[in-house]
Each structure stands twice: as structure tokens, then as C-alpha cells.
Amino acid sequence: MTPIVVTGFGIISPAGRGRDDAWAGALAGATGVAVDEQLVEMGTPVTLSCRVPAFDPDAELGRGASRRLDRFTHLAVIAAREAIGHAGLAGGDDAEAITSADADRTGVLLGSGIGGAETWASEYPNYLEKGPRRTSPMFVPKMLSNTAAGTIAIRSGARGPNMTVNTACAAGASAIHLGRDLLRAGAADAVLAGGVEAGVTGLSVSAFAQMGALTKNPDPATASRPFDVARDGFVIGEGAAVLVLETAEHAAARGATALAVVAGAGASADAHHATAPPDDGGGARLAMQRALADAGVDPTVVGHLNAHGTSTPLNDAAESRALRAVFGDHTDRIAVSSTKGVTGHTLGAAGAIEAVFAIQALREGRVPPTANLVEQDPEIDLDVVAGAPREVALQAVLSTSMGFGGQNSALLFTPA
């Protein structure tokens, strides 16, 4: 079976703008959590968030394009633009336009859990207050969850398969998995695959808070603390990451540099509960086992896990048990980190953002720390990296993602 390689990626996240700044932010372990003045003004039960810093869509995309698109599409377009440039897919003077020779067989597969959340949040009150005839004609195209993937294709000229996947907080990882499979099936030569979310609205924050999913800790510096004994919920974030996946033959033919191999991917369902994982992490275990089997690698070659690690009591404990069930004694030799201490939980974007961080760790042999981990929960029986990055010689890395509905994804990357 032809290897599928990563030849570029782009990222815009609370850890930083662009792949270099975001990776530096992850390595520094400096949390992106802050008091959100918009949420304070709305009077939401929780007022902390992880927003992308200093992001001006008018300046980035032009005022006209910015006004026609929801924030989640803004973020996706910026991440895709960087990924196309990083992979050397652009042709001519347009940094977003894929070369005509590649455009027909370049697909886009993007994950998002919510889609145009800001458009929903702003337009529905407008409809109630001003009536049906004042409803924006742009409401539908702005809020549709497939608009980000469609817009990337429109701007880049990518005319291959174009799809959107929604597996909630596993969506970004699911999109990479399915993008890999499109390439294996011969349906495309290259795929822009990743995830995006911009769900920091008063409505969504209030809903997550009412569920008890968000932290009640009012201190931004310690609010998102995966694996800590005092963790009590996640901090909502936003962002996007897009990876360029190609068949190894296509990448070699155009002289592209392969950064990593998407060696294995696994998916599963908990078949258990709408929002809570089973105590033993059974679904996550299946996803990891399937990724290992798909890659055909010995579990003992895995040296790093970028964990889903949401900073919620149930998730972190269940994921710990799942990892030990898969790796047994080798679990003690896996350097585990959750970068959500820095980024917060970016929902549908998380799996793609964390896939980028896993690849960076693989390439550099540096595992980022789990930010804000002061006292590890004794029930979390893992070697969690904390305080500072750890240098580790890596042969394979895993990135895991889990979503409401009980959907799980695991991606395994190896050196190119």
C-alpha cells in the first residue's frame, strides 16, 4: 500500500499564529487562557476562554470576504493558506492558488463540530427582534459547517473530493484519517485535511457551563490543567489546523519534502453515553489498537502520546486506563502530554492542532509539557511531561481525540 505523507501544515491557535509560533507556544507551556471581555459583558456563567491572539479577519482576508464568512471559515482559510505554502503547492503569485497541474486531484476534507457558531448567535436574536424579513440572506452560507471546506476550494482552486466530517471533538483527527483513506483509494493525489472551530459564543459557553463541562476555576493561569488532581473541567478555545497529505509518489514527483508518514489511523465508538466516556476508556482503547494494527508496528516503538487530555475528571482518567490497556508495561516509557493546558479545548479543531504538535515532536525529538500540571492525579498512571519540554528519540507518536457521542480517533505518525 502506498505510503501517505505529510508535506505541509498550517495552524492558527491560542498557542500562536502560524506553525512556528504555535509550536514555540506549546513548548513554552504558556497558557492561552484569559478572561474574555465579551463573555463578561454577556454575563455568562464562565468568562474564561482561549481565543486566537491578535486576529483581525478584515486585515487578513479583506473586509468584503471577511463580512461574507463566519469566523470559523476565517480561521480555516488562514490555516489552509499556510499549509499550501508550506507544502509548495501554490503556483504563481497567489499564495492560496494550487498549481493547475495539481488542482483537479487535490481534495479538501475538514472537520468541525459546530460550524458557524457566531452566525447562529448573532442572527437568531436579530430574527426574533426584527422579524423574518430582516433575516440576513448570508445566514445559510455563513453558518453551514461545510462552508469552510468549500471556501478553501474556491480560494485555492482545489477541484478534488470536498467533504466535511463532524465527529464533535474528534472531527479534526477524523478528517485526517478519512483524507488519508481517500488517497489510499486513489481518489486524489493530495488532500488538505484538518479541523476548525470558532465556538466561543455566549450561547455555547453558557450551554457547556450548564452541562458542568467547563472549569469553575476563575484563575486563567491555572484553569486548564490536564491530569492535575484539582482539574474540574475544560476551557473553551478556537483555532484551525490544516495538513497537506499526499501519496509518497506524488510528493516525490513534484520534489516535495515529506515531513512525516501517516502510518496508522483508527476509529471507534464508545456505544456508551452521549457525553461521558466509559470508565475503562474502552472506545479509546479500540481506536489506538486499530491505529497500531493499521500501521503494522510494534506497540513498543511508540514513544510519545499527545493525549486528548481535556482537563475534565472523567476524560483524563478514562484515557489513562485506555493507554495502559493498550501498552501494558510499555506505558511507563511513553512520554505523555496534553497541549490543551496551552490551547484550551478547541473542540473540532483539537485533533488537527494536536496532530501538528505530534508531528513537530516526532521531527524534533522534543515533547511539549502539559501546562499547569502541579500535582498529578494519583489515578493517572502515566509518565506525564510537565514543567519543561523533554528530549526523546522518537520512532512513532500517537495523537488521540474523543468527541461527544462517544466517537474516538487515533492517529499514528512515523518519520518520513
Please confirm, yes or no, whether 308 is among the known catalytic residues: yes
Cβ atoms of 408 and 170 within 8 Å: the answer is yes
Element at 8 (helix H, strand E): strand 4-13
Cα separation, 7 vs 83, whole angstroms: 9
Cβ atoms of 70 and 139 within 8 Å: the answer is no
What's the gap between Cα 207 and its chain centre? 21
Instruction: Using DSSP, state whether 400 is helix, strand or coil.
Output: strand
**Among the options 86, 169, 250, 304, which is catalytic?**
169
What's the gap between Cα 278 and its chain centre? 23
Cα separation, 340 vs 14, whole angstroms: 10
In angstroms, the Cα distances linking 61 to 56, 64, 73, 184 are 9, 8, 11, 34
Cα separation, 402 vs 185, whole angstroms: 25
Cα separation, 26 vs 48, whole angstroms: 19
> What's 160's DSSP letter?
S
**Among the options 86, 250, 304, 308, which is catalytic?**
308
**Number of Cβ atoms within 10 Å of the Cβ of 279:** 11
Cβ atoms of 111 and 174 within 8 Å: the answer is yes
**Among the options 74, 177, 250, 345, which is catalytic?**
345
Instruction: Using DSSP, state whether 153 is helix, strand or coil.
Output: helix
DSSP for 325-364, written as a single string: HHHGGGGGGSEEE-THHHH-B-GGGHHHHHHHHHHHHHHH
Please confirm, yes or no, whether 273 is among the known catalytic residues: no
Element at 123 (helix H, strand E): helix 117-130
Please confirm, yes or no, whether 169 is among the known catalytic residues: yes
In angstroms, the Cα distances linking 219 to 48, 216, 282 are 9, 9, 33
Rg (CA), the chain: 20
**Could you list the active site residues?**
169, 308, 345
